[in-house]
Every structure is written in structure tokens, then in C-alpha cells.
Amino acid sequence: MEVTVGTAALALALLLLPVLYERSGSFRFFCKMGFYNGWILLLALVAIPLCALRGRDVENMKIIRGLMQHVKHLYGIRMAVRGAQHFPPRQPYVVVSNHQSSLDLLGMMEVLPDRCVPIAKRELLYMGAVGVACWLGGIIFIDRKRTHDAISVMAEAAHTMLSQDVRVWVFPEGTRNHSGSMLPFKRGAFHLAVQAQVPVVPIVISSYQHFYSKRERRFTAGQCVIQVLPPLPTRGLGPADVPALTERVRAAMLEAFEALSAELRPTAPPPAPQ
């Protein structure tokens, strides 16, 4: 009898889930974000044995990129890449891009150049299978609480970029930013580019505001533009030039971000006929 009541309660709860999903925006938001994280965890489990054949190697980022590229379709996110011709061919460079949310992974995987690895907070290493996949992909981890150590890791990265022909992707805001603008940029990425004497390639991911908002618990289908801006050379620059370079790149990115936000902002529906 107890089993029957339990089973009936479970069946009722399962029947109610679609209704709740249909009626509650917040429930839908949490389901979608839960599925996003769960799906990436599952993809990481698939990636691990494939990547393990090579060991820790930047070439494994191709496997991770390939496995991630369908995820946008699951969410109805249409992505357009502009300015891909700006990627310098056959040379190392530092990519810098804005960082709004963990959804940035989708934009990153849309344009990630070959032999390019992100710099990530070290906490990612402890996310189970995701951490293992990131390690196998050659992702560079920094401890944000230890500035001196983070700078040493970046200095080592400058060497690796040149000796092993590697490109590096940095989020110079240093953290996710949902404000609809850009935080001040930290200078690590620009020191890295100047130390290695390689160009900086700015990439702007358009605002998610019209289809995704963590604060409002809103996540619908939508459109996202990833704009690659012209590279800035650093040849001949030294440490004293880093602040001006940082500000120049941020100004260019902010201008492009605002232009994209204006372009993609949904136009108000026409007034209803009287």
C-alpha cells in the first residue's frame, strides 16, 4: 500500500513538472541552467578518454571545441561571427574578450582558434570531470588570490606561446560581469602580450540582455554576435606602455559592445490599433 501511495505521489510530481516548466519562468531558468551545467559535465566525461590519448596537450582543445559546438542549438541561440579575417594567421597572439556569464563558453567555442587556450581561475580544476577535461586541454590555471603566483604563471605562458606556438585567451575583466557594460580591465593579458611581443586580438561578445538575465531569471532563444576586432601590435612596446594599451583596447571593445547592443536591442512592438 505504502509503495502504491509513494509511486502515485511520484507520478503526480512528474506530471506536474511540465506544467511548472510551462508556467514558471524561474523554474524554467533553473532547469535550463541546470541542464547546461549537467550537459557540459557529461560532455567532459566524453572528452576525457579522447583527450587522454594525447595527455595534456593544447591540440585537445579541438576535441573540446568540437564537442561543445552543438550546445547553442539546444538553447536556440543563433550565433554570428564577424571579423574572423582579423585573426593573424600562423603566429601566437593574445585574445582578450568580455565576460558576461558561463554562456561565454558557447561564443568562445564558436571562434576559438587552433592552438589557443584560455587562462582560467584555478577553482575550475576542482569541478570534477570538467576540471580534468580543462587540464587535458592545456588550459592555464591561475590563483587569483596570489597575484605574485598568477604573474609567474603568465610569464611562463609568454615563453610557452613563443616556444610552442600557442595562442592564449584571457578575460581581462577577471570575473563574470552581468552589468550590461564592461568592468575595468586587469593588465595581465597586456603584460603577457608585451612580454611575448605578440599582437592583442580583441573579441566582443554581444550583450545577452535580450534573451538571458540571471537577475530576472530569464533565458529564452536569441541572437548573439561575436565580433573580432583588428589586432593591435605590441612590437617595440615595453611595460611602461601597458596601461595605455589596456585602455586603448578596452575603449575599442566598449565601443563595439555598445554598437552591438544598440543593433540587437529588440525594437518595441508597434502600438496596437485603436
**Which of 120, 198, 200, 205 touches ligand LOTZAFKI (CB under 6 A)?**
120
**Binding-residue pattern over the window 115 to 144 for ligand UBL, x denoting contact by CB under 6 A:** ------x--x--xx-x--------------
Return all residues near 78 (Cβ < 8 A) that are at least 6 apart: 72, 221, 222, 223, 224
Question: What is the C-alpha separation between 12 and 207, in angstroms, rounded?
Answer: 40
Question: What is the C-alpha separation between 71 and 264, in angstroms, rounded?
Answer: 21
265 interacts with ligand LOTZAFKI by CB under 6 A: no
Query: What cell numbers appear for 97 in the block?
Result: 574578450
36 interacts with ligand LOTZAFKI by CB under 6 A: no
Q: Indicate which of ligand LOTZAFKI, ligand UBL, none lies near residue 41 (CB less than 5 to 8 Å, by partner kind).
A: ligand UBL
77 interacts with ligand UBL by CB under 6 A: no
Q: Tell me how far, at minimum, the Cβ of 271 lies from ligand LOTZAFKI, in Å.
A: 43
Of 80-88, 139-147, 205-213, 250-258, the window that binds ligand LOTZAFKI (rule: CB under 6 A) is: 139-147
**Which of 102, 147, 164, 181 touches ligand UBL (CB under 6 A)?**
102
Question: What is the C-alpha separation between 180 and 254, in angstroms, rounded?
Answer: 11
Cα distance between the two ends of the chain: 61
Question: What is the C-alpha separation between 137 and 131, in angstroms, rounded?
Answer: 10
Classified as helix, coil or strand, 36 is: helix
Q: What are the residues binding ligand UBL (CB under 6 A)?
A: 37, 40-41, 99, 102, 105, 121, 124, 127-128, 130, 171, 175-176
